Amino acid sequence: MNRNKEKNQVGQSPHHNRRWKILAFLSLAQLMVVLDATIVNIALPSAQADLGFGDADRQWIITAYALAFGSLLLLGGRLADYLGRKRTLIVGLFGFAGASAIGGLAPSFEVLVGARALQGMFGALLAPSALSTLTTTFTEPSERAKAFGVYGALAGGGGAVGLLLGGLLTEYLDWRWTMFVNVAFAIPAGIGLAALLVNDPRRDEVRVDIPGAIAASTGLFGIVFGFSRAEADGWTAAVTLASLAAGVALLALFILIERRSDAPLLPLRVVADRNRAGSYLAVGVAGASMFGVFLFLTYYLQQTLGMSPIETGLAFLPMIAFLMVGSISSSTKLMPRFGPRPLVPTGMVLAAAGMVWLTGVGVDSTYAGAVLPGLALVGAGFGLIIAPSMASATLGVAVSDSGVASAMVNTSQQVGGSVGTALLSTISASAVTAFASGKVPGPELAAQAAVHGYTTAFWVAAAVLAAGAVVTAITLRSGAPQAEGDQAEGEGSLAMAH
């Protein structure tokens, strides 16, 4: 009764008086999901020595998470809409905690890979539920801007936090703590949100689009798997080409199914809006280039400049600082006045400039001169891209579609990151081979070839960001977002649907 009364007083959300506490716990959940994509990277050598698996197998510790997470996000988002965000959020959090505990206790490589896949499955349930809960909790434009600024900063900087935390845990405790630490995130977040959130009404009258779910999940699996195999086996390998072709064909089939379905997994109206389409593209481009920065700079800082895992993690902190300042400033000051169109392309140009700066790194470069300015530019650029894109991607969506609209944000980032990592890794490896060809082998040549591979990847990332700047400048609409009108329209859509 009190909660219903509270909803009537506020007019929009039963969570209004608890919104900042809810944001704190949602941010904790989001940070856990994002950092888990990178936290085990630094721990891989220790895990490999402990469990005794080979070099060819270690990629599966990373890929198992990405495959499960990326391929099931759309289904997870739709389940949040059908079953209620609180239910899927709590199940996702406690499931993630359980999978992490299994991974930390893993006696073998196979169990660890299975645990990572389970983490990805529960992450696919958790991530869109968290973002759509944020979307429906913060409805006032100024407060919504602040909330998305914080959330966007965590979404962008979580990967770098994962590298730092992975280095600390591996160096001072044990690689297994890179898995156990998730329990410390998930349990408090789950308990807090269980107490604070109101259950959404379960929509039993709405059917789950099973054919669409199968086509989308297997299609995304094919795309992510194909790009992960391209990194290991090359672009012309049969498994790479077959996976990518099957993935594209299944996603095309998915679109046909959605056009004919009475209860589509992804209503095409969600992606038909120009601002949302441009925002999904922006998040994907940012994900592709961001994971490239983490991957190649991690290798450069450790193998070329000789930094320890902890020093490597600390080296990324300036990027996080600039990203957080840019994210919060763009959300609270700029987005309400100008909308996403001037912000996102500008952010991509800044990030591209940072990548160009990083192409100047050499075997004998210093961190302060060659790396720090580039990281600052990249961080500031991502701050202008991610938070405004996340806000635009979920603004004005009917409440019944908020879960799947949020899932598309996560899908864009995850698929973008997987594609970017594979693409940049393959290009970098080819550049290394070409640089060393015909020259006398030796440690100095190996170091120079490696750096040439990194700088080639940075040039490609800069080109991708520049292209993204052009496309988003064309796609995104001018003008400040009409949050209140859009929200009302979303509520109206929901009322009409029921």
**Most confident among 42-56, 250-264, 288-302, 454-468 (mean pLDDT):** 454-468
Contact 414, 70 (CB under 8 A): yes
258 and 279 in a single domain? The answer is: no
Give me the chain's average pLDDT, please: 80
Q: What's the number of domains the chain is made of?
A: 2
How many CB atoms are located within 10 Å of the residue 260 CB? 9
Confidence of residue 202 (pLDDT cuts 50, 70, 90): low
User: Domain boundary residue among 264, 284, 299?
Assistant: 264
Q: Of 231, 246, 264, which residue is a domain's last?
A: 264
Task: Render pLDDT for 222-254 as a digit per residue (tens, 0 to 9).
Answer: 887 887 777 677 788 899 999 999 999 999 998
In a domain, 416, yes or no: yes
Q: Is the pLDDT of residue 14 over 60?
A: yes
Query: Same structural domain for residues 303 and 333?
Result: yes
In this prediction, residue 423 has a pLDDT band, given cuts at 50, 70 and 90, of confident
pLDDT tens digit sequence for 266-324: 778 878 788 888 888 998 898 888 877 777 888 888 888 888 778 887 888 888 888 88
Q: Is residue 410 part of a domain?
A: yes
Question: Domain for residue 9, yes or no?
Answer: no
Whether 320 and 172 share a structural domain: yes
Confidence of residue 464 (pLDDT cuts 50, 70, 90): very high
Do 135 and 30 share a structural domain? yes
pLDDT at 13: 60
Residue 328 to residue 149: CA distance in whole angstroms: 4
pLDDT given at position 477: 78
Reported as a pLDDT band with limits 50, 70 and 90, residue 205 is low
Does 5 map to a domain? no
pLDDT, tens digit, 9 for 90 and up, residues 164-176 = 888 888 778 888 9
For residue 366, give the CATH number of its domain. 1.20.1250.20
pTM (2 decimals)?
0.76
Q: Does any domain span residue 62?
A: yes
Per-residue pLDDT tens digits for 74-109: 788 778 877 888 888 999 999 999 999 999 999 999
pLDDT for res 25: 87
Q: Would you place residue 492 in the very low, low, confident or very high pLDDT band (cuts 50, 70, 90)?
A: very low
Question: Measured between alpha carbons, how far apart are the two ends of the chain, in Å?
Answer: 23
Q: Same domain, yes or no, for 241 and 311?
A: no
Q: Are residues 269 and 289 in the same domain?
A: yes
Residue 320 domain boundaries: 19-208+265-491
Residues 151 and 292 in one domain: yes
Answer yes or no: do 186 and 221 share one domain. no
Same domain, 148 and 202: yes
Cβ 403 vs Cβ 81: under 8 Å: yes
Q: What is the pLDDT of residues 127-162, one digit of tens each?
A: 888 877 887 787 777 777 778 777 777 766 677 778
What's the chain's length in residues?
A: 498
How many Å apart are CA 247 and CA 242, to the nearest integer?
8
Q: Are residues 202 and 220 in the same domain?
A: no
Domain boundary (198, 230, 264) is at 264
5 band by pLDDT with thresholds 50, 70 and 90? very low
100's CB contacts (< 8 A; 6+ apart) are 115, 119, 179, 180, 181, 182, 183, 186
Residue 483 lies in a domain: yes
317 with 277, same domain: the answer is yes
The CA-atom distances, in angstroms, between 473 and each of 1, 343, 351, 438 are 48, 9, 15, 44
Side-chain half-sphere exposure of 491, counting CA atoms within 13 A: 11
14 assigned to some structural domain: no
Predicted confidence band at 15 (pLDDT cuts at 50, 70, 90)? Answer: low
176 with 84, same domain?
Answer: yes
pLDDT for residue 480: 64
Residue 8 placed within a domain: no
**What is the per-residue pLDDT for 458?**
93
State how far the Cα of 187 lies from the Cα of 194, in Å rounded to an integer: 10
